[in-house]
Chains A and B, each alone.
Chain A
């Protein structure tokens, strides 16, 4: 037993060291490597038209690699022997049906599932099967080739629209500054998935239609121009339905929004992490020192920090919750901010009384908000029942005094009876006999 616990202690130490290492790495940046692959099509995309955007990208200290899909080029590979090669991939619209022999929709999905971030840009000219299938699996249904977003209430000839503040659907991704954005491209339908949320919405009077008369793909505000997706493992994907949105021509107006979307997709924005949730008895002793029993007072704390402008800052919010759950939640408590350091904002439950029910409970903080990385902390702990000597003693309960009195009264009277029975003489029995005489 002792050896066992010693080994456990050692393992715990190692784990602790490892986790601190991890934390110190994470201090640098939420995304560990900066290798970014930009896939484009020479035939339709002239990189010079996006020089402003790439300059800004370079400021993010990204390691950019450009690859153009031409039928005879070398294969593009996202994985090397199953290991992900890049942390980010940007997909410009491609005219070819395929990306490459090895990069299919399934590869892209594997890339996302392995934690890679994808920024997918489509346009009315693009028709790549793999990209579309990939987006469909995420729940994004971009309009097919030839469909163009138009709005007859706006009068530009080339189809460029102005997007006002109402179009911005996610303040977490694009922080609105009052200026209208310029957009020329297609729109998509979005599925009602919990992991997917709209970033830009089409104007009320707009619609997406092909030049051939085939009916509308989207109408009004059900059309979306940019969307964000975050997987359960916090890998991100962003989609924008316009190539020119990023171009130098619009860059003066769109610069901030473009960079916001890119930063968000590459885990430079809207990233929060938890610094370990912990809970303990009111007096600070932990579960391991003294397991919880029903109706114990405990304190739960969790620290959250956000990656903002190149460093970890305290994350402030008023909707962080704790759930104490055994199949159904017994408690759902909103946590209050307590102390904060330079990096972390701590939230505390204050003193809460555990449920009056024994069982194996999960202490959960499940913070899932659109635009922010998901925080999920779960700790499973048993809450035991009262031991046989932890109930109040009988004499401490005033109700029991009645019964205690009766017990002692019976006992006492029995002793009195025995006493009198043994000591009294049968005089009284003799008396009537005399009378008879």
Chain B
């Protein structure tokens, strides 16, 4: 699209652009509202509940208290220095919006701001993508890219209404930072690179994934240097960005000195050093002859390489630089996490991506993506190198971790937009039809007719693809990505839709019926929800900062009742919460996660917990009569299936998730815990730790005595007991 600079055409174009943008933003926001319409205005999933709780704290207590927040209601009894271990960007943003709205006379409930935060920011993302793509190609491609990113399911998956997560704001900031970086790099403008650094700072404050920018921009610069494209513009923009960005990022308490101590940040520092040397080199080059320069260059390069590499090794060895983090290793070796850090491997988001997911999340963009990259290769301007580096790096990462699909989606949109726009540039051009030939008469020869037909065909096909894309995106968004996962959609026997609301039922019960300082032990997945919805103290939560503490809960869950009781008593636990899907067929329950609990605690206590013991002799993971004795004795098994067979009237119950038969004699009696609450569909089951027996007996023999008394069994033991000597 040619852009007019003045006159009527300019105004028409501007008006059109504004109209297009309004409709893109409208589409972006409205497609993200499915969840609110289908369900209600509610915070989704797990992490958002923490962000929501933190935001409420910030709004209630102010920034100073928030910054120094010591949270004694999580990670009991360790507590969590929450203010110093979170990325505050998201909370401060929504608190700022809340205060702003209050100032202008619109007092909105903070929950609604949090719920609608992600959709609102998706509009900004679309604009930033437009600007970025405009820098890469032209504004036509920009508009297409904006349209794509607005409704691409890969991005929507993390930004529907209610999905109040760091990523909701982070993708926006990612695109804005890159947009400013491209501008700065093209113009060498210090202002633009300062903006890039400031938005980088904002990004650092919002999401741990900022490391991606920290590495991508230096990679871009490094590749440009290798290509011999050093320029003063590049020098000015990179050094400005690095200096301001790094200093700013160190102001976030959670990041602190990482930018100079962690290996993840060393690339940026290295390139910063390298560009100084290159700058110096190019200065020398302009002063001395070519031959002399060559020797100087070779000697100094070799020297620097040796010095740099050995320096890095030594500093890492002596512990001045933190070694690479586990998540980083698992990026390169997909099996690394499974072997060394089960806590990372246990998260479904960290699993490798399945092939269909790419198509599911981006539809036809995925096959336009390579075409776009190829087209950029043909031109290969400096900014195109950036897009290519981004594409290659992120394609790999997205293949390793499902979660990183999110960072790949924007660049897919950009590249696909470049491809489509290039195609439309060529095929949507029907101007020749209206061109008059030299003699003034309209020319209708054979060529023109064929050209018209082919162009109509190709453009028509692609317009149809675009149409299908919109359909696909709407379908995916409404069916796959709009469930809050706190409330589960289901169907009644007659086919009418129904909601399974067990989680909120149970959390509300906890909130209303237990002491305010009651401690609830559950697997870490539910920690944030218990904290957010039930407002009770938890032992572990989704923050997972302390692997040992999680392993303690895992050990309790995989130990026999009496041992588990000791562990839980030592941590002042009052209630144990388990998720059980066997009745309704909810497959994400604790029995299915149980092996991870075993593995994580085995990592800490390899002598006491052994994964092998939880399998049948033939190596199967079973819960029916064939299950191993260790499995049947495990607390998790007992708590999940307690009283389950009696529900079926006989001595057997059918677990619908595993499709296995549970027998009453396998479940056994519960001596140390008592059931206090089970939700409507048995998804959430709550148990209370019994008080210690006041007569000093262990609870097992106490309840055995009670059961014998209830049955009326007489024990006539007048034999001399074998007792230890009293001293």
Check A235/B706 contact, CB under 8 A, given A359-B77, A385-B70, A388-B68: no
Categorize the interface residue count of chain A.
35 or more
A136 closest partner in B (C-beta): B717
- Measured between beta carbons, the chain B residues less than 8 angstroms from A326 are 77-78
Contact A137–B81 (Cβ < 8 Å): no
A198: which of B76, B705, B726 is its contact (CB, 8 Å)?
A: B726
In the assembled complex, the CB of A94 is this many whole angstroms from the nearest CB of chain B, namely 16
B570: which of A112, A137, A222, A327 is its contact (CB, 8 Å)?
A: A327
In the assembled complex, the CB of A79 is this many whole angstroms from the nearest CB of chain B, namely 15
Contact A112–B70 (Cβ < 8 Å): no
A221 closest partner in B (C-beta): B726
- Measured between beta carbons, the chain A residues less than 8 angstroms from B695 are 109, 112-113, 137-138, 195, 231-232
- Measured between beta carbons, the chain B residues less than 8 angstroms from A198 are 726
Chain B window 132-164, contacts with chain A (Cβ cutoff 8 Å), 1 for yes, 0 for no: 000000000000000000000000000000000
Chain-B contact segment, one of A57-65, A186-194, A277-285, A407-415: A186-194
A233: which of B70, B694, B717 is its contact (CB, 8 Å)?
A: B694
Chain B window 552-582, contacts with chain A (Cβ cutoff 8 Å), 1 for yes, 0 for no: 0000000000000000001110000000000
Contact B77–A361 (Cβ < 8 Å): yes
For window 136-171 of A, CB contacts with B under 8 Å fall at 136-139, 141, 144
Q: How many Å lie between the Cα of A113 and that of B706 in the bound state?
A: 13
For window 387-434 of B, CB contacts with A under 8 Å fall at none
B71 closest partner in A (C-beta): A382
* A106 adjacent to chain B (CB < 8 Å): yes
Chain-A contact segment, one of B9-17, B486-494, B708-716: B708-716
A387 closest partner in B (C-beta): B68
* A196 adjacent to chain B (CB < 8 Å): yes
Check A106/B70 contact, CB under 8 A, given A192-B724, A192-B726, A233-B694: no
* B517 adjacent to chain A (CB < 8 Å): yes
Contact A189–B721 (Cβ < 8 Å): yes
Contact A222–B77 (Cβ < 8 Å): no
* A47 adjacent to chain B (CB < 8 Å): no
For window 680-710 of B, CB contacts with A under 8 Å fall at 692-697, 705-706, 709
Contact A129–B714 (Cβ < 8 Å): yes
Q: How many Å lie between the Cα of A132 and that of B78 in the bound state?
A: 47
Contact B705–A137 (Cβ < 8 Å): yes
Contact B78–A359 (Cβ < 8 Å): yes
Check A144/B77 contact, CB under 8 A, given A112-B695, A233-B694, A382-B70: no
Contact A193–B253 (Cβ < 8 Å): no
Check A105/B253 contact, CB under 8 A, given A193-B696, A385-B81: no
Contact B723–A191 (Cβ < 8 Å): yes
* B103 adjacent to chain A (CB < 8 Å): no
* A29 adjacent to chain B (CB < 8 Å): no
Q: How many Å lie between the Cα of A232 and that of B696 in the bound state?
A: 7
A201 closest partner in B (C-beta): B726
Contact B709–A106 (Cβ < 8 Å): yes
- Measured between beta carbons, the chain B residues less than 8 angstroms from A264 are none
* A353 adjacent to chain B (CB < 8 Å): no
- Measured between beta carbons, the chain B residues less than 8 angstroms from A359 are 77-79
B67: which of A106, A144, A388 is its contact (CB, 8 Å)?
A: A388
Chain B window 73-90, contacts with chain A (Cβ cutoff 8 Å), 1 for yes, 0 for no: 000111101001000000
Chain B window 41-82, contacts with chain A (Cβ cutoff 8 Å), 1 for yes, 0 for no: 000000000000000000000001001101010001111010
Categorize the interface residue count of chain B.
35 or more
- Measured between beta carbons, the chain A residues less than 8 angstroms from B709 are 104-106
* B720 adjacent to chain A (CB < 8 Å): yes
Contact A189–B694 (Cβ < 8 Å): no
Q: How many Å lie between the Cα of A189 and that of B725 in the bound state?
A: 9
Contact A144–B68 (Cβ < 8 Å): no
Contact B721–A141 (Cβ < 8 Å): yes
* A380 adjacent to chain B (CB < 8 Å): yes
Check A382/B72 contact, CB under 8 A, given A195-B695, A195-B696, A360-B78: yes
Main secondary structure of the interface of A (DSSP, over half): mixed
Which of B70, B571, B717 is packed against the most chain A CB atoms within 10 Å? B70
Q: How many Å lie between the Cα of A360 and that of B80 in the bound state?
A: 10
A382: which of B79, B572, B705 is its contact (CB, 8 Å)?
A: B79
Q: How many Å lie between the Cα of A308 and that of B71 in the bound state?
A: 46
B517: which of A189, A190, A380 is its contact (CB, 8 Å)?
A: A380
Contact A327–B696 (Cβ < 8 Å): no
Q: How many Å lie between the Cα of A192 and that of B696 in the bound state?
A: 11
- Measured between beta carbons, the chain A residues less than 8 angstroms from B70 are 358, 382, 384-385
* A133 adjacent to chain B (CB < 8 Å): yes
* B286 adjacent to chain A (CB < 8 Å): no
* A245 adjacent to chain B (CB < 8 Å): no
- Measured between beta carbons, the chain A residues less than 8 angstroms from B517 are 380
B60 closest partner in A (C-beta): A1
Contact B77–A327 (Cβ < 8 Å): yes
Contact A358–B694 (Cβ < 8 Å): no
For window 178-222 of A, CB contacts with B under 8 Å fall at 189-196, 198, 215, 217, 222
For window 25-47 of B, CB contacts with A under 8 Å fall at none
- Measured between beta carbons, the chain B residues less than 8 angstroms from A109 are 695, 705
A127 closest partner in B (C-beta): B718
Q: How many Å lie between the Cα of A384 and that of B83 in the bound state?
A: 12
- Measured between beta carbons, the chain B residues less than 8 angstroms from A195 are 695-696
- Measured between beta carbons, the chain B residues less than 8 angstroms from A190 are 723, 726
A106: which of B571, B706, B723, B726 is its contact (CB, 8 Å)?
A: B706
- Measured between beta carbons, the chain B residues less than 8 angstroms from A362 are 77, 572
Q: How many Å lie between the Cα of A129 and that of B718 in the bound state?
A: 10
In the assembled complex, the CB of B181 is this many whole angstroms from the nearest CB of chain A, namely 27
Q: How many Å lie between the Cα of A113 and that of B724 in the bound state?
A: 26
- Measured between beta carbons, the chain A residues less than 8 angstroms from B716 are 129
- Measured between beta carbons, the chain A residues less than 8 angstroms from B725 are 222
Check A235/B726 contact, CB under 8 A, given A359-B77, A388-B253: no
Q: How many Å lie between the Cα of A282 and that of B718 in the bound state?
A: 60
Contact A231–B696 (Cβ < 8 Å): yes
Q: How many Å lie between the Cα of A231 and that of B697 in the bound state?
A: 10
In the assembled complex, the CB of A385 is this many whole angstroms from the nearest CB of chain B, namely 5
In the assembled complex, the CB of A198 is this many whole angstroms from the nearest CB of chain B, namely 7
- Measured between beta carbons, the chain B residues less than 8 angstroms from A233 are 694
Contact B697–A222 (Cβ < 8 Å): no
A233 closest partner in B (C-beta): B694
Contact B723–A380 (Cβ < 8 Å): no
- Measured between beta carbons, the chain A residues less than 8 angstroms from B84 are 385
Check A112/B726 contact, CB under 8 A, given A141-B721, A360-B76, A382-B79: no
- Measured between beta carbons, the chain A residues less than 8 angstroms from B77 are 326-327, 359-362
Q: How many Å lie between the Cα of A326 and that of B723 in the bound state?
A: 35
Q: How many Å lie between the Cα of A138 and that of B705 in the bound state?
A: 12
Which of B81, B697, B721, B726 is packed against the most chain A CB atoms within 10 Å? B726
B694: which of A136, A235, A327 is its contact (CB, 8 Å)?
A: A235
Shortest 10 CB-CB contacts between residues of A and residues of B? A382-B72, A384-B70, A387-B68, A106-B709, A195-B696, A360-B77, A231-B694, A144-B718, A232-B694, A326-B77
- Report which A residues bind B (CB closer than 8 A): 104-106, 109, 112-113, 129, 132-133, 136-139, 141, 144, 189-196, 198, 215, 217, 222, 224, 231-233, 235, 326-327, 358-362, 380, 382, 384-385, 387-388
Can you name 15 A-B pairs with beta carbons within 8 Å? Answer: A106-B705, A106-B709, A132-B718, A137-B697, A137-B705, A141-B721, A189-B721, A191-B721, A195-B695, A232-B695, A232-B696, A326-B78, A358-B81, A360-B77, A362-B572
Additional pairs, 7, CB under 8 Å, beyond known A232-B693, A359-B77, A360-B72:
A139-B696, A141-B721, A189-B720, A189-B721, A190-B723, A326-B77, A380-B517
